[in-house]
């Protein structure tokens, strides 16, 4: 949910402010998906950044929810760590897949903001 | 260590709200009313959710139903936030593409036993894919109630 919100919001914001580049891409003979990818190469990657940062800094800067939850539930710190690393890597994998699919669907104007519908010729 | 819903908890919650009110009054934060509303909402919502989850944990199918409801709420929330409510089938596809493989790996490897107690928190975290608000109770990897079955 969070990853989808980020990738869609980033992509639409970027497309709105770079519609000229997108249309230039189309006029060069690029497909809609190619033109979107050309004008917006970073939105998909950026959407995975918050979780990536949390995964990198876990234990150093933060103790996230699963870790605290297992401790409060009576688990040992090792069990808490095991649960937390499973959760973090699970989120990382899930976000990567969701963002990859969502970005493809945005490139093909399957997921499209109402105000961009006309500009993207879906 | 476990926090139990005892009268001590009630006392602590009341003191925390009073402390917040006093501090916001002294610091002229003007957040008195909204903190009380937020505190009451948190208490009521978590009490209701706790009772519902007790029910959902009884069977695997009720836990699955609970997970489906979480998924629907997740799709609704993100489509609404981004302003693409009409595209909900495609958004569902994108979210399912992230959630199903992760659950498959977790349960196919036997990392966690497939039951309500593990499914609701793991699926919940992956659906929301955000571990900040999803602190959870009992042990995730070795739930004793399950290990002894």
CB within 8 A of B23, min separation 6: which ones?
A: B29
Q: Averaged over B40-63, what is the pLDDT?
A: 91
The whole-angstrom separation of Cα B37 and Cα B73 is: 23
When pLDDT is cut at 50, 70 and 90, the band that residue B146 belongs to is: very low
What residue in B sits closest to A63 (Cα-Cα)?
B132
The whole-angstrom separation of Cα A66 and Cα A82 is: 10
What pLDDT, on the 0 to 100 scale, is given for residue B147? 37
Q: Chain A: nearest CA to B46, how far in angstroms?
A: 15
- Tell me if chain B has a CB within 8 Å of the CB of A44: no
Structure ipTM: 0.86
When pLDDT is cut at 50, 70 and 90, the band that residue A62 belongs to is: confident
Asked if A91's CB is within 8 angstroms of B126's CB, the reply is yes
- Tell me if chain B has a CB within 8 Å of the CB of A39: no
What pLDDT, on the 0 to 100 scale, is given for residue B1? 63
What pLDDT, on the 0 to 100 scale, is given for residue B130? 65
User: A80-90 pLDDT, tens per residue?
Assistant: 999 999 998 99
Model confidence at A48: pLDDT above 60: yes
Model confidence at B89: pLDDT above 70: yes
Domain ranges of chain B: 1-55, 57-149
Q: Residues A42, A48, A51, A56: is their CA dihedral positive or negative?
A: negative
Least confidently predicted of A13-17, A105-109, B116-120, B129-133: B129-133
User: Mutate which of A79, A94, A106 to disrupt the B interface (most B C-beta within 10 Å)?
Assistant: A94
Q: Averaged over B10-14, what is the pLDDT?
A: 93
Model confidence at B140: pLDDT above 50: no
Across the A/B interface, how many CB contacts are shorter than 8 Å?
165
Q: Chain A: nearest CA to B67, how far in angstroms?
A: 14
State the CB neighbour count (10 A cutoff) for residue B134: 18
The pTM of this model reads: 0.79
């Amino acid at each position: 949910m969070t990853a989808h919100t980020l990738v869609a919001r980033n992509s639409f914001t970027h497309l709105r402010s770079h519609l000229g580049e997108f249309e230039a891409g189309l006029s060069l003979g690029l497909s809609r998906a190619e033109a979107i990818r050309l004008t917006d190469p970073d939105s998909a990657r950026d959407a995975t950044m918050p979780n990536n940062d949390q995964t990198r800094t876990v234990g150093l800067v933060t103790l996230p929810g699963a870790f605290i939850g297992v401790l409060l539930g009576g688990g040992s710190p090792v069990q808490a760590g095991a649960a937390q690393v499973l959760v973090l890597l699970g989120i990382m994998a899930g976000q990567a897949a969701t963002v990859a699919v969502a970005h493809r669907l945005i490139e093909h104007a399957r997921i499209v903001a109402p105000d961009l519908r006309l500009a993207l010729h879906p | 260590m476990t926090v139990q819903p005892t009268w001590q908890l009630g006392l602590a919650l009341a003191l925390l709200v009073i402390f917040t009110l006093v501090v916001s009054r002294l610091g002229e934060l003007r957040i008195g009313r909204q903190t009380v509303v937020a505190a009451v909402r948190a208490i009521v919502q978590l009490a209701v959710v706790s009772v519902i989850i007790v029910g959902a944990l009884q069977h695997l199918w009720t836990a699955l139903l609970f997970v489906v409801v979480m998924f629907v709420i997740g799709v609704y929330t993100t489509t609404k936030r981004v302003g693409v409510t009409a595209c909900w089938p495609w958004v569902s596809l994108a979210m399912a593409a992230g959630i199903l493989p992760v659950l498959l790996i977790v349960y196919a490897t036997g990392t966690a036993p497939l039951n309500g107690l593990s499914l609701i928190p793991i699926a919940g975290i992956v659906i929301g894919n955000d571990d900040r608000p999803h602190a959870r109770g009992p042990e995730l990897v070795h739930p004793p109630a399950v290990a002894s079955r």
